[in-house]
């Protein structure tokens, strides 16, 4: 996904800088924050249950549940960036959108980015193109419901979608449409799991994940070639 650099910070657990594969520095995604938190905890940079990472977008707080599970506050879900989604009300958050010759039923959900959560059946063909609603572009996120406590998130079509944000949006749609409870397990296409919690009191969504190491090693570079000026 990119390069994470961690630096000492006098007020927080660490300062985090993230560089995308194309090179520019930008705000880290939720998945990046999760990975950085596991590293910060394992290398003793944070001894408390709470890990605060300073980023270009401001401080981000994560909770260390244990040595492997980390919880992130994704935020309050909205339908359009301003109207909160509150389950249990009489509001129908489903909308019908026509794309080409097909009409798609979806639930618009937004945390940091607008997503369109689409309930998927076994025979249904997945939508692989953006949806336009009210002059805004929503990227589709499909989900399957197995039970009131378990859903599945198939592989995402768009690389720019944050996997944790997509999982949260799918679970919000499943709960608001009456398919699932506020505490739900989200199965990932790689065999992993996210644990979804929608706090009724604060109307905030939390995702707990288990970041894993893909490999470990070191990288040596020449100062002359990759110096500060570069």
Give the CA distances from residue 161 to residues 105, 123, 130, 139, in Å, rounded to whole numbers and listed in that order. Answer: 20, 24, 12, 8
* pLDDT class of 206 with cuts at 50, 70, 90: very high
Token reading at 120: 């998927």
Question: Tens digit of pLDDT for each residue in 88-103?
Answer: 777 889 999 888 778 8
- Burial code (b: 16+ CB inside 10 Å, e: under 16) for 46-64 equals beeeebbbbbeeeebebbb
| Residues 15, 35: Cα–Cα separation, whole Å | 14
Question: Tens digit of pLDDT for each residue in 34-63?
Answer: 999 999 999 888 767 889 999 998 999 999
* pLDDT class of 230 with cuts at 50, 70, 90: very low
Q: Which domains does the chain have, with CATH numbers?
A: 3-64 (3.10.310.10), 76-194 (3.10.310.10)
* Whether pLDDT at 228 is above 90: no
Question: Tens digit of pLDDT for each residue in 125-134?
Answer: 888 888 988 8
């Amino acid at each position: 996904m990119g390069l994470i650099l961690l630096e000492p910070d006098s007020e927080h657990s660490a300062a985090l800088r993230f560089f995308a594969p194309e090179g520019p520095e930008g705000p880290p995604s939720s998945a990046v924050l999760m990975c950085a938190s596991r590293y910060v905890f394992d290398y003793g940079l944070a001894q408390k249950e709470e890990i605060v990472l300073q980023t270009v977008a401001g401080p981000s707080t994560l909770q260390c549940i244990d040595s492997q599970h980390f919880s992130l506050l994704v935020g309050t879900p909205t339908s359009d960036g301003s109207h909160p989604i509150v389950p249990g009300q009489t509001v129908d958050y489903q909308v019908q959108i026509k794309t080409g010759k097909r009409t798609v039923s979806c639930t618009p959900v937004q945390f940091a980015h607008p997503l369109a959560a689409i309930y998927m059946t076994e025979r249904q063909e997945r939508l692989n193109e953006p949806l336009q609603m009210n002059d805004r572009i929503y990227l589709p996120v499909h989900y399957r419901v197995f039970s009131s406590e378990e859903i599945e998130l198939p592989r995402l079509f768009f690389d720019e979608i944050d996997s944790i944000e997509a999982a949260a949006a799918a679970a919000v749609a499943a709960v608001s449409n009456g398919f699932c409870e506020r505490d739900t397990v989200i199965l990932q296409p790689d065999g992993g799991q996210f644990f979804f919690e929608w706090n009724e009191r604060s109307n905030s969504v939390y995702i707990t994940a288990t970041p894993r190491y893909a490999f470990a090693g070191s990288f040596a570079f020449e100062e002359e070639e990759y110096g500060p000026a570069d």
